[in-house]
Amino acid sequence: MKITISLAQINVLSGNPKGNIIHAESFIKEAKKRQSILLCLPEMWTTGFNWQYLINNYEDHNYFLKEVSSLVREYKIWLYGSMPFFNDKKRLVNAGILFNPEGSIFYQYNKIHLFSLMDEDKYLDRGERLEVIDTGFAKLGLSICYDLRFPELFRTYALKGAEIILIVAAFPHPRLEHWKVLTKARAIENQLFIVALNRVGREISSDGKEISFFGNSTIINPWGNVVIEAEVDKEELLTAEIDTDYIKEVRNYLKVFPDRRDDLYEL
């Protein structure tokens, strides 16, 4: 099936969710003009990683859900991005939320691998479930940033039938080469599409250091070829058409999954 996907490689305004929603709307509108069925926004795109703001000022995610839901409903587009969200224990999680074109939450994936280098483990609870989501246009696996470094997650999604794995991220310099290698590796080893969105812009970490996010968002096909790739350190709306039928073509040619020795290992 041929589908058009857009990636909004944007700067995130730290601690300014209203400003970020206003900024994102222009990208949502343009993605719809390009006839995209799905738009991805970055990790923590409503607030950034401003822990002081999240601790002292972030009291209710429902206002932001309502605003985003309204935009999605207006433009009738699928939307995936992550934002801070309170779980049942009133603890924050890094929630990857997939909205359907009616503006409803179709699925919520809570990030399972918390990035201790940026103190996520101190302020957030981790997610506890993995499911492949059948949207009708494709079977999706959802992931967030640091998840990219854990091949077990991606293989699990592949074994569960995922055709496309979405990654929304805040990957900073100096790890650009890691990003390039890991996104290609995950596509090649699982013979599926990797749709990887990374933000741009700067933030100040909890220890006072400036962090610069490099962008370089990309879509990689099941053979490991780059379908499309964004520039580094620049806002951009990336749009490409992919054909999920290509997955079967690659897997019929190079029979990685039938050749697996799952009698010797668990994944």
pLDDT attached to residue 129 = 96
43 is catalytic: yes
Catalytic one among 111, 139, 163, 203?
111
111 is catalytic: yes
User: Among candidates 87, 93, 12, which has minimal Cα distance to 46?
Assistant: 12
pTM beyond 0.95: the answer is yes
Domains and CATH numbers, the chain: 2-253 (3.60.110.10)
33 is catalytic: no
Catalytic one among 43, 120, 163, 203?
43
Cα(135)–Cα(127) distance, integer angstroms: 21
DSSP state of 231: P
- Whether residue 235 contacts residue 198, with contact meaning beta carbons closer than 8 Å, is answered with no
| pLDDT by position in tens, the chain (length 267) | 999 999 999 999 999 999 999 999 999 999 999 999 999 999 999 999 988 888 888 877 888 899 999 999 999 999 999 999 999 998 999 999 999 999 999 999 999 999 998 889 999 999 999 999 999 999 999 999 999 999 999 999 999 999 999 999 999 999 999 999 999 999 999 999 999 999 999 998 777 889 999 999 999 999 999 999 999 999 999 999 999 999 999 999 999 999 999 999 988
In terms of DSSP bridges, do strands 226-229 and 210-214 run parallel, antiparallel, or are they unpaired? Answer: unpaired
Catalytic one among 120, 139, 145, 163?
145
Cα(132)–Cα(165) distance, integer angstroms: 9
